[in-house]
Chains A and B, each alone.
Chain A
């Protein structure tokens, strides 16, 4: 117990240690996160009326970001599967970064759900009357929290073992790794079922949504991890091989192609049949009765996805610069496609045929940015702490061999905000 507390204390200290760039980055993230806190307090006082949502479009950016992030979290499985199922050792040393990403992203997901609630003070009602298994939302609560715990356990155990300087015992984490793989697929499937199960929303009521979710998640997630790994490699002593990046590139390639294919299937079904059910799709892609707020967004997303797919397919993207551009295109393209492109149009037109458009307000945007900043803050700390611990530079033995010593205090660091 004492050893564990020492571990937590060392991690806490370590998270404040770094050069000026680290401090500048953390300070910037903290400020954006505090901006989110400010906007949320405003929303808490005045209600969700400060958002752009209405009775017609009753879910907006919060749920859109939530959906996208669930996919990002599930993508950790795309690192784990090659290593533990196919024994691809290129990725072995970087699996932990995927799992840490899953932890911080699930935290963001839970925050996005919390800020979307009209009565966050009644959150405990979930514990008292849980409409399981009828409500898909309860499935999602279980799936997300379970996934968070699984990944916390796996990462926490491996890092703590490194801290204690002992070999991790396989039976304490390998079974959980395999459960986490199935669980990763399930979090995204269950999240898709939230929408798919609604008969009154023809835009969502389609079996292809869940596979499309997974395909886009397995493109955007590994793309995000490619960028992260390059940052880790650049700023820390952690070894990340080019082969690891190229293995991920292959995964993104395949996922992007499947994603585009599924999109094509959906577009064909909707527009060739041309039934009344395409009103939402028509609004999204072409505009409906002169309303077309989402049209520029979705075509930007499709252009980005096509460009990303092309770049990933070409040998050009074996150059890391090009790979980075392709990754950014895929991440942003899929974010728009899943956010603006999947959540909002299902509400337009309303079930009674009314067209009310949606655009996020300043407060809503600040809350979203704040949660993103907080998530990145958590991820930065997790990576920053785990790199030296896993490298054996920070251990329990070290701590007691030099008692009452501080970890390196930054000499001339900008103000670290400790929130």
Chain B
């Protein structure tokens, strides 16, 4: 390595005393030029960067969602509108609905009724402007073996011509909006947090894309934009909000937000609205007259992976009667038959 230390040249500082020769100078310049040329060649893929791929000064200086003043937030919403117009040629309505007082949302899924048709998956994609290529979905419907609730025996990629298959049952999984969310805990930059109404949201403009939350989630509910999301112009849902369904950029996380741009203004989530079997129930658990309140009080209810202690706000339940597995039972007592003949 350091031949300068050999007896021939005991001291690098004392050797090469012949000042700067022309040959040495030319050689060094050639070496420097070659080095710079090689570096430029190595960096050549950057020429494929499109306009808007790099953050503008305003993007760069944008504050965390919770730190923005009203004026800054209005400006941020305006910039989102401009970007959607520039990229997708669509006039968007950008809102930022706040959580309502005295509301905590929960979601119930009736596994007695679900037939695994995946209509919820696609309604969610359309509503929330998820990337079509690469395909990104918040809801995963598991086709389960009868007699097991073990997800490792589930079939994720079932494709029968007709559902439900008689010997299977179906369990859709999406973000469980946990009350003790591990994804929020691990985020190094507080880009994700739990709102007062129980919905865990992401500031897509703050996320640095480390994917630690994705590793932490026990329900595989978070998705990462590995590439620039692609949505055909006519497929854009123009009613968007800052914390939920506005189009995302590559390199950031996203997830189900219980369609907060709909639910915070009194509507129901898109997945619920499309469900043909009425398996999906959503509402305010703090309201004693709500359907979810009734279900939690009277039905057989369970949460997935209760052992990981994340306290989900998404629960599963089943009917004692009237499910797709049984014919409706006549009301009234059934006569007991005797022991003998």
Contact = CB atoms under 8 A, between A and B. Distances in A.
A and B associate: yes
Interface of A: 10, 13-14, 17-19, 21-22, 25, 30-31, 34-35, 37-38, 41-42, 44-49, 51, 53-56, 58-59, 113, 116-123, 125-126, 128-131, 134-138, 141, 194, 197-201, 231-232, 235-237, 276, 279, 346-347, 349-354, 380, 383-384, 387-388, 391, 393-394, 398-399, 402, 405-409, 415-419
B250 A279 contact: no
A37 B207 CA distance: 24
A236 B1 contact: yes
Nearest to A134: B185
Contact of B251 (A35, A119, A232): A119
A59 B226 CA distance: 12
Nearest to B13: A398
Contacts of B19: 406
B43 interface: yes
B144 to A, nearest CB: 10
A59 B215 contact: yes
Contacts of A21: 1
B152 A200 contact: no
Contact of B182 (A34, A199, A402): A199
Interface of B: 1-6, 9-17, 19-20, 24, 30-32, 34-35, 38-39, 41-46, 48-49, 53-55, 60, 64, 134, 136, 140, 142, 150-154, 156, 173, 182, 185-191, 206-212, 214-220, 222-228, 250-253, 305, 308-310
Contact of B42 (A35, A383, A409): A35
B55 to A, nearest CB: 6
A125 B189 contact: yes
23 contacts: A18-B2, A37-B42, A44-B46, A45-B48, A47-B228, A48-B227, A49-B227, A55-B223, A117-B209, A119-B209, A121-B60, A122-B207, A135-B212, A231-B1, A237-B2, A279-B152, A388-B5, A394-B13, A408-B9, A408-B12, A415-B34, A416-B31, A418-B31
Contact of B191 (A125, A388, A405): A125
User: Most B CB atoms within 10 A — which of A51, A55, A384?
Assistant: A55
Contacts of B216: 198, 200
Nearest to B39: A419
B4 A388 contact: yes
A47 B38 contact: no
Nearest to B34: A415
A5 to B, nearest CB: 16
Contacts of B16: 405-409
Contacts of A51: 226
Contact of B252 (A13, A30, A119, A279): A119
A22 B41 CA distance: 24
Given A117-B209, A353-B154, A388-B12, 14 more contacts: A17-B4, A41-B46, A44-B46, A118-B209, A118-B251, A126-B189, A137-B212, A141-B188, A197-B186, A276-B150, A352-B142, A388-B2, A407-B12, A409-B16
A22 B207 contact: no
